[in-house]
Amino acid sequence: GNTSRGSGTGRSRLLVEEPDVGLDPTTLGSRPEPKADHRSNIYLFIITRQEVMKWNGWGYNDSKFFFNKKGQVELTGKRYPLSGMILPTFKDWIQNTLGVSLEHKTTSKASLNPSDTPPSIVNEDFLHDLKETNISYSQEADDRVFRAHGHCLHEIFLLREGMFQRIPDIVLWPNFICIPVINLFSLFFPTACHDDVVKIVNLACKYNLCIIPIGGGTSVSYGLMCPADETRTIISLDTSQMNRILWVDENNLTAHVEAGITGQELERQLKESGYCTGHEPDSLEFSTVGGWVSTRASGMKKNIYGNIEDLVVHIKMVTPRGIIEKSCQGPRMSTGPDIHHFIMGSEGTLGVITEATIKIRPIPEYQKYGSVAFPNFEQGVACLREIAKQRCAPASIRLMDNQQFQFGHALKPQVSSIFTSFLDGLKKFYITKFKGFDPNQLAVATLLFEGDREKVLQHEKQVYDIAAKFGGLAAGEDNGQRGYLLTYVIAYIRDLGLEYYVLGESFETSAPWDRVVDLCRNVKERITRECKEKEICQTCVEALDHSRFPEKAAEEDHYITLLKSFFQLSLWL
């Protein structure tokens, strides 16, 4: 068990909450009392998070795409709007577009065999000192493998078909315990997880060990993979217990949080008080505040709320040379360089982010989705540029080329009535026959507006008026909403593809407006050329990490290439 430690912060505005365990509060329920299990000083609620997640794929164990008895694609579970729904046209799209044979299926490992994992190399003197701190730790194979990777295609492929050459030797969890404090409010005052991180870093320095911080494990930059030639003990420092909102300052509209809180849990707790951060990366369910800062993250609604560098007011980071943090809590300083920009994007290479103060806003009064169809991708790009020029971008706007449009259309769930089906057919007739759009050329932008109702409606009219000048047609709220809801299930489709020798990967980048169209064209041409040289059948897609192709794919020519989201342009101001 843990021992009580001195308080980490003492503020008159302290707001201590006992949040539910992260991820899905409806599934995991309230936080259980800490109880030791068979592992070394690990608490059951830590293991709960791990056990509801896939060990060799994306997301929750109870959510996956599969072919039902009728041969139709369906999403299991109850977590997402698409859960339990049938996608009647997706099978045909897979077979016709990719040439996939449903009889040709891979057989990945059903479970992790501990004997397949690299042995744990732990400095015994370090382990002795670690036990004196009462910090939770584990050397179990499944705990180590679970934290040995992010979610690049290459990493998931290795989990399914092989194993990493090197994984963390030991997993550590900074602890916390609440001490009752006798005062007018009968609060529980928490000791800081930050203190344990300091102890861990000091021990690592003492014995010359490596530390790889991990939050939600959604990295797509290979930042969690261990160097194969590293001979020192590698520590995976799991921040999942550092998941509290320490205080909310309603006067200054800021919240001070621990770095391990997930985006989903942060928004859920803030919503109870009528606030939000507005930061919504595609990995919102699982990624953490510390991960956002360390990867310099951007979210879907950055046009209104900003990127993470616009939201962060204060950062605390533990390094081998001490604790780095500003002495000033002000939102901006004009003297000297900003230490925050030194920390953001560092990917855990400089230290462990333990706490952050971020801006919050009242939950918007009104939210409205929308979509616009364009005759082609080029006109869509021109429209988005004009919207940026006039500084009137909605909270989120994404432009899909024709291939992504076709892909998204194939993911449309079964309609509920003949009337709905008739309306869909009428819309298609209007756009293709009456307006003359080529179904093989048209592109679609999805929109999301937020704010005061009156301002949203004015903003919406302004955007649609601009779109009309570039041949754009309003395509309805449902299409816009469905486009954003697909964001949270798209990685599950990648995992379905792997079962049928389909590789799915994505690139994200930013580019100046005058290079966007060239970039899209050149990337497709490069993919085509690389796949041809490697004798891999392919479909032109947004981006494919050809330098990371699994050798098995190239040697056996089993894999067809498919990207999970095709060409997608997000407006960047």
What are the binding residues for substrate?
A: 494
- Residue type (1 letter), 367: Q
Strand, coil or helix: what is 56?
coil
Strand, coil or helix: what is 538?
strand
- Residue type (1 letter), 334: S
Please tell me the distance from the alpha carbon of residue 467 to that of residue 373, in angstroms, as a whole number. Answer: 9
Please tell me the distance from the alpha carbon of residue 566 to that of residue 571, in angstroms, as a whole number. Answer: 16
For residue 422, how many other CB atoms are within 10 A of its CB? 11
Please tell me the distance from the alpha carbon of residue 37 to that of residue 281, in angstroms, as a whole number. Answer: 34
Determine the length of the chain.
573
Please tell me the distance from the alpha carbon of residue 290 to that of residue 296, in angstroms, as a whole number. Answer: 10
DSSP 8-state symbol, 67: E
Please tell me the distance from the alpha carbon of residue 163 to that of residue 166, in angstroms, as a whole number. Answer: 9
Residue in 148, 150, 169, 97 with CA at minimum distance from that of residue 540: 97
Which residues, in sequence order, are CB contacts of 47 under 8 Å at separation 6+? 37, 39
Tokens matching residue 30: 């309230």
Tally the C-alpha atoms within 13 A of residue 468's C-alpha that lie toward its C-beta.
Answer: 7
Q: Phi first, then psi: what are they for 80, rounded to 5°? A: -120, 155
Cite the annotated binding site by residue number: 213-219, 282-288, 295-298, 347-353, 494
- Asked if 144 and 167 count as a contact pair (C-beta separation under 8 A), the reply is yes
Query: In which residue are the tokens 């779109």 written?
Result: 467
- Asked if 261 and 355 count as a contact pair (C-beta separation under 8 A), the reply is no
Cite the annotated binding site for FAD by residue number: 213-219, 282-288, 295-298, 347-353
Buried b (16+ CB within 10 A) or exposed e, 508-545: eeeeeeeebeeebeebbeebeebbeebebebbbbbbbe
- Asked if 138 and 85 count as a contact pair (C-beta separation under 8 A), the reply is no
Tokens matching residue 302: 């950055």
Angle formed by the axes of helices 90-98 and 402-410, nearest 10°? 140
C-alpha separations of 406 from 37, 97, 402 in Å = 49, 10, 6
- Asked if 280 and 299 count as a contact pair (C-beta separation under 8 A), the reply is yes
Please tell me the distance from the alpha carbon of residue 14 to that of residue 254, in angstroms, as a whole number. Answer: 12
Tokens matching residue 466: 């601009």
| Helix H or strand E encompassing 130 | helix 124-133
| Helix H or strand E encompassing 315 | strand 312-319
Buried b (16+ CB within 10 A) or exposed e, 385-420: eebbeeeebbbbbbbbbbbbbbbbbbbbbeeeeeee
- Asked if 201 and 136 count as a contact pair (C-beta separation under 8 A), the reply is no
